[in-house]
Amino acid sequence: MKINKFFTISAVFIVFGVIGYFAINSYITSKEAYYLGMQNKLLKAKYDTTYKYFKIMTNDIYEMYSQNKKLINLFSKANTNIADTNKENEIRKQLYNSIKRNYKRLNRMGISQVNFYLKNNIVFLRMHNPTFFGDDVSGARPSVVLANKTQKPQEGVEACDFMVGLRFVYPAYNYKHEHIGSIEISYSSKQLLKNITDNFVFDSHMLISKSVAKGTIVQKESNNYKESWEASGYYIEEYTHKKLGDENFYAKINNKNLRSQIASRIKTKKSFSLNIGYNYKNIILTFLPLADAKGVKNISYIVTYTESDYLSNLIIERNYIKALFFTIISLLYLFALYVVSNQEKLKSLALYDTLTKLPNRTLFMIELKQELNRAYRHKEEMALMFLDLDGFKNINDTYGHQMGDELLFYVSKLVTSNLRKSDIMARLGGDEFTVILGDIEDEKSVVKVAQHLIDELNKDIVINQKVLHIGVSIGIAIYPQDAKDPETLIKYADAMMYESKNKGKNQVTLYRKENV
């Protein structure tokens, strides 16, 4: 017998030991995943904020240029097929001089390029390199091609032979509103990284997809674009690379397993973060995809490397919890007590609706009987309301059960917030609710409460960025004038709710014998 008990206790210990071991690992892993997700969202938020700031600034610059009569007149002349090269160069020189001072000021603000393109996608003027012009960018700048073709502003990430840039291209018009070309206002990838990284980021760079890297980039690979150690389908832009001094670090992370993880995550075309260990430190790699003017995602990535003390502390926390779990074996007994106590709680949960946390039908009947007894003892009146949502099925069918569940939860919170603390709301099932109003003044006060609930539920309801519209049909029965027992009171209130439905919905109906 003692041997049997020994084996039983040993078996229980082993089972709980294994469960505890994996539970601790799962707990720490979930915290790590949550933290990585937050780092991912943080970088995305910084990028979105920077992007919006850049876009607002470029819009203002474009408006300033488009309203500059001198500039527009000069650019218009550039589109008249000038046969005289000297005259064309003179127009280009005048255009350059007209905004030279402004461009230098913009350059200090982070804008790297202001370019002027003719309607046929030929470069007329590059402010950063005014001696280089006349080349056709149709094969290298989709944003320019689209802006000239659609005559609509274009924006996105594009690469050239020396850098990746965030480009905003606007169609330009003369004062007859004739299309004369396009104006590009761009930010360098280096400026973009400068705006979204901080001192905690010890390595950052841009990746550019080989599939969109044209021949000019491939030819320049030895200079600015090199094979990425992280993703085989991408080049790394050396121009933006903020390197860590320890070269062993890059050798450490350049392994098949990590590259495989990155490759599988890149296929999702979504931002992601990974955690790697190096020299007892935890490093977070975050990859943020960027789209081009055509909306093609992940043609480029912002990549950041951040050292994380939090993740290092998580490892210490995991080891400490494991040691504590296996050392204090007596906690198994307390755990058993905890399970038993939770079983009692589960029994009590059987009285509440799992979705809305309101009393369910069972508890509602208990509460109704108690309220009727209290009203009888104190010679008070009480009311029972039946509520049924109007339009709920349509929302449930249109947006799915998850949206329907969130709407039911929202309604339960809204109604209870508009009741007294002493009033009791319950969910009988589906979109049907009941409300017990104790110690009422008269039926008018009850109708007033019901009408207020109708008004509240008729307002716009915003869930998951969707505006929903519902109504509610309400039936009321009052104790003791309508009924004195719970079954009859429920019957009458329920019947009045259906009467409200029959009369056109979204209204309240008091019990009257003629309505039954």
Q: How far is CA 242 from the centre of its chain?
A: 29
Angle at 498 between CA 492 and CA 501, to 5 degrees: 150
pLDDT in tens, 65-78: 999 999 999 999 88
Q: ∠ at Cα 250 (245, 256), nearest 5°?
A: 175
* Bond from prior residue into 480 cis (ω within 30 degrees of 0): yes
In which band, very low, low, confident or very high, does the pLDDT at 339 lie, cut at 50, 70 and 90? very low
Give the closest residue to 470 by CA, choosing from 402, 386, 414. 414
Q: What is the mean predicted confidence (pLDDT) over 218-236?
A: 72
Residue 277 pLDDT level (bands cut at 50, 70, 90): confident
Mean pLDDT over 402-427 rounds to 94
End-to-end CA separation in angstroms for the chain: 71
Helical axes 2-66 vs 189-196, angle rounded to 10°: 130
C-alpha span between 156 and 126 (Å, rounded): 19
Greater confidence (6 vs 50) lies with 50
Q: How do residues 152-177 score in pLDDT, each as one tens digit? A: 999 988 877 667 888 999 999 998 89
CB atoms within 10 A of CB 50: 19
- Is the predicted pLDDT of residue 2 greater than 50, yes or no? no
Angstrom distance (rounded) from CA 275 to CA 510:
64
Q: Which segments within 255-313 are labelled E, that is strand? A: 272-278, 281-290, 300-307
Tell me the backbone φ, ψ of residue 380, rounded to 5 degrees: -115, 165
Amino acid identity at 103? Y
From 386, 388, 364, 387, select the one nearest 491 (Cα to Cα): 386
Domain boundaries, the chain: 30-346, 350-515
Is the pLDDT at 220 greater than 50? The verdict is: no
- As a whole number of angstroms, the distance between CA 469 and CA 395 comes to 9
How far is residue 92's CA from residue 100's CA, in Å, rounded to a whole number?
Answer: 12
Q: Is the pLDDT of residue 452 over 60?
A: yes
Average pLDDT over residues 457-469: 92
pLDDT at 394: 92
**At residue 486, does pLDDT exceed 70?**
yes
CA-nearest of 249, 254, 305 to 278 is: 249
> To which H or E segment does residue 248 belong?
helix 247-253
Split at pLDDT 50, 70, 90, the class of 334 is: low
Distance CA 325, CA 336 (A): 14
Q: Is the pLDDT of residue 145 over 60?
A: yes
Q: How confident is the model at residue 23 (pLDDT cuts 50, 70, 90)?
A: confident
pLDDT at 245 over 60: no
The mean per-residue pLDDT over the stretch 343-366 comes to: 81
The answer to whether residue 219 scores a pLDDT higher than 60 is: no
When the pLDDT of each residue in the chain is averaged and rounded to a whole number, the result is 84
pLDDT at 454: 94
Q: Using an 8 Å Cβ cutoff, are 125 and 95 in contact? A: yes
pLDDT at residue 1 in the model: 44
- Identify the pLDDT of residue 4: 56
Q: Are 418 and 403 a contacting pair, CB within 8 Å?
A: no
CA distance 156 to 486: 67
Q: Which CATH class is domain 350-515?
A: alpha beta
What proportion of the chain, given as a percentage, has pLDDT over 90?
A: 47
SS3 298: coil
CA atoms within 13 A on the CB side of 387: 28
Q: What are phi and psi of 214, to 5 degrees?
A: -75, 180
Q: What is the pLDDT of residue 278?
A: 74
Over range 180-203, report the average pLDDT.
87
Contacts for 494 with CB less than 8 Å, ≥ 6 apart: 386, 475
SS3 content of the chain, % helix, strand, coil (to 5): 50, 25, 25
Least Cα distance to 78 among 63, 65, 96 occurs for 96
Q: What is the pLDDT of residue 423?
A: 93
Tell me the CA distances in angstroms from 279 to 160, 187, 202, 246, one per residue in order: 37, 36, 15, 11
Whether the predicted model's global pTM rises above the 0.85 cut: no
- Which of 43-52, 87-96, 154-163, 279-288 is predicted with the least confidence, judged by mean pLDDT? 154-163
Q: What is the pLDDT of residue 425?
A: 96
pLDDT at 15: 66
Per-residue pLDDT for 105 more than 50? Answer: yes
Cβ atoms of 172 and 75 within 8 Å: the answer is yes
State how far Cα 474 lies from the chain centre: 37
Reduce the DSSP state of residue 440 to 3 states and report it. coil
Compute the chain's Rg from CA coordinates.
Answer: 35
Specify whether the CB–CB gap between 181 and 76 falls below 8 A: no
Average pLDDT over residues 40-57: 91
What are the tens digits of pLDDT across the range 378-407? 999 999 999 999 999 999 999 999 999 999
Query: Is 70 exceeded by the pLDDT of residue 200?
Result: yes
Q: Kindly state the tokens that stand for 474.
A: 């309400």
Q: How far is residue 283 from each of residues 35, 97, 417, 434, measured CA to CA in Å? A: 12, 49, 47, 55
The whole-number pLDDT of residue 333 equals: 54
Residue 309 has pLDDT above 70, yes or no: yes
Please give the pLDDT value at position 71: 92
Task: Compare 439 and 1 and report the one with higher pLDDT.
Answer: 439
Q: Which helix (H) or strand (E) holds 473?
A: strand 471-479
At 180, which amino acid appears? I
State the average pLDDT over residues 419-447. Answer: 93
CATH for 30-346 (3.40.50.720, 2.40.30.10, 3.40.640.10, 3.30.450.20): 3.30.450.20
CA 101, 106, 110, 112 torsion-angle sign: negative
Q: Look at residue 178 and give its three-state secondary structure.
A: coil
